[in-house]
Amino acid sequence: FNIELQKSGKMEVISQLAASVAHEVRNPLQVTRGFLQLIGSKNIQLNEKNYMALAINELDRATEIINDFLSFAKPQKEEMTNLNLNEEFQHIIDILTPMARQNNGSFKVHFNGKLWIRGVSSKFKQAIINIIKNSIEALPNQGKIEVFGYIYLEEVYIVIKDNGEGMTEDELRQLGKPYFSKKDSGTGLGLMVSFNIIKSMDGDVEYNSVKGKGTQVTLKFPMLKI
Ligand code: ADP
Ligand code: MG
C-alpha cells in the first residue's frame, strides 16, 4: 500500500508544523492552568486530588505532543549533512530501547554494509523514532521489531518490521492524516511529522500491514556515494 507524498516546500512544512504544535500544546497548558487556579482558590469543593491528576494528565499530553513533533529539532543545527545510517540507528535504538523493554519488546538490526544518505540528523531521527514508537506501541507480549538496511538499485532502503497488532486497509489509508489515531491518548500527529520529513529528504515511504499479524514499513532514500 503506497502513500503518495504531496509535494511542498521545506519552509512550508516547517511553518505548518510549528503552527500546529503551538496550537496543540496551548490547549493542555490552558486546562492545566485552570486546574491550578482552582486548586489555589479558597472555596474549592471537589476533591483536590482529582484536579491534580487531571492537571498531570494534561501536562503529559503536552509532553507527548512535543515529543511527536520536535524532541530532536535543534534550531541552530538545521544543516543537511552526510548521514551514516549505522550511526543514526545506533542512537535511535539507544533512545528507544527503554521504551521497548517496558513493552516487553526487543530490537534486531541487520545492516548490510555502510549506508549513507543526505539529511538533517535531528529531523531524520525524529521521523524514524515516530515510526518505531508506533511499532512498539502495537506490540503484543514478546514483541519483536526488526530493522533492515540495504542498497538496491542505487537507493538506500530501510525496512522496519513488527509483529504487532497490524492495521486494516481503511486504517492504512488514513496514515499520516493529522489527528488520525486509534489510541486512547494518541496525538495522531507522529506520522504526519515523519512523512513530511521523509518528503523533505526526497524519500519515499510505503506501509504494508496485516491486521493481527504485523506491519512492515519500507523507506527509500537517494543513495549517497562516499
Ligand atoms: P499516534 O501514535 O499518536 O496515534 P501516529 O500518527 O503516530 O499517531 O499513528 C497513527 C495511527 O496509525 C496509530 O494510532 C495506529 O492506529 C496506526 N499505526 C501506525 N503505525 C502502526 C503500527 N506499526 N502498527 C499498528 N498500527 C499502527
Ligand atoms: Mg505515534
What integer pLDDT is reported at residue 207 of this predicted model?
Answer: 98
Q: How many CA atoms lie within 13 A of 57 on its CB side?
A: 11
The reply to whether ligand 1 has any atom less than 6 angstroms from the CB of 188 is: yes
Here the cell at position 130 is 515516530
Task: Write down the residue that cell numbers 540528523 correspond to.
Answer: 121
For residues 224 and 118, the answer to whether their CB atoms sit within 8 Å is yes
Angle between the 121-138 and 85-102 helix axes, to the nearest 10 degrees?
Answer: 30
Q: How many other C-beta atoms are found inside a 10 Å radius of the C-beta of residue 42?
A: 4
- ipTM for the complex shown: 0.99
Q: How far apart are CA 141 and CA 181, in angstroms?
A: 22
Q: Which atom of ligand 1 is nearest to the CA of 193?
A: 6
Here the cell at position 137 is 506501541
Q: What is the reported pTM?
A: 0.83
What integer pLDDT is reported at residue 8 of this predicted model?
Answer: 46
For residues 146 and 163, the answer to whether their CB atoms sit within 8 Å is no
The reply to whether ligand 1 has any atom less than 6 angstroms from the CB of 134 is: yes
Q: How many other C-beta atoms are found inside a 10 Å radius of the C-beta of residue 194?
A: 27
What integer pLDDT is reported at residue 43 of this predicted model?
Answer: 65
Along the 226 residues of the chain, how does pLDDT read in single tens digits?
334 444 445 556 666 666 667 777 888 888 888 888 877 776 666 666 677 788 888 888 888 888 877 655 555 567 899 999 999 999 999 989 988 998 889 999 999 989 999 998 988 999 999 999 999 999 998 899 999 999 999 999 999 999 999 999 999 999 998 889 999 888 888 998 899 899 989 999 999 999 999 999 999 999 998 8
DSSP code of 181? -
Angle between the 48-70 and 121-138 helix axes, to the nearest 10 degrees?
Answer: 130
What integer pLDDT is reported at residue 47 of this predicted model?
Answer: 67
Nearest ligand to the C-alpha atom of residue 135: 1
The reply to whether ligand 1 has any atom less than 6 angstroms from the CB of 190 is: yes
